[in-house]
Structure 1
């Protein structure tokens, strides 16, 4: 009886456990729609904060001529280009989901 149990465990139980966890690993490796929504919300918040920071720096610079912004490059074209590319990717993804 123990031999039958061992054979069943080896040929049915072991592959089932292995395939079960392989499936779990594959499904957990993808990003969920909730995660995508959170990332989009965080992106829009970061963009708004960046705009606010630009505005505050402009206001302080207009009041104080000796003011130097803490950021390395103010309103950098390279940063703006990366933001535009990201926005384009997000728009394409939204378009493909509809």
Structure 2
């Protein structure tokens, strides 16, 4: 009797257990590939916080430029893009990423 149970168990594992395992984890990977609503809310909150911190940095830079004109010249010599331009570039990238993720969710 034991000679029959072992092959039946092996065949059961191969034809039932293995496909179930593969299908289970493939659906889990597909679900994990997209952002949840909580993730989007957190990303929005982090973006707002970064925007406020950047506004504060701009204020500090204006104060430093008013107090020390040499500092402003040194910054200009380094050819840094103004903060506003860098923030706008990041904002446009973020909007494009959200559009892509929304399009993926609609499919």
Between Structure 1 and Structure 2, whose CA radius of gyration is higher?
2
Pairwise CA distance, 1:3: 2.0
Structure 2 gaps of 5+ residues are: 100-107
Q: Partner of 2:69 in structure 1?
A: 65
Structure 1 gaps of 5+ residues are: 93-98
After TM superposition, where is structure 1 displaced by more than 3 Å over at least 4 residues in a row? 86-92
Provide the TM-score with structure 1 as the length reference.
0.72
Measure, in 2, the Cα distance between the counterparts of 1:53 and 1:2. 70
Provide the TM-score with structure 2 as the length reference.
0.67
Root-mean-square deviation (CA, aligned residues, Å) is: 3.0
Higher relative contact order (CA 8 A, sep 6+): 2
CA deviations on 1:11-62 (whole Å, 9 max, x unpaired) are 1111111111111111122211111111111111111111111111111211
Higher helix share: 2
Pairwise CA distance, 1:71: 8.5
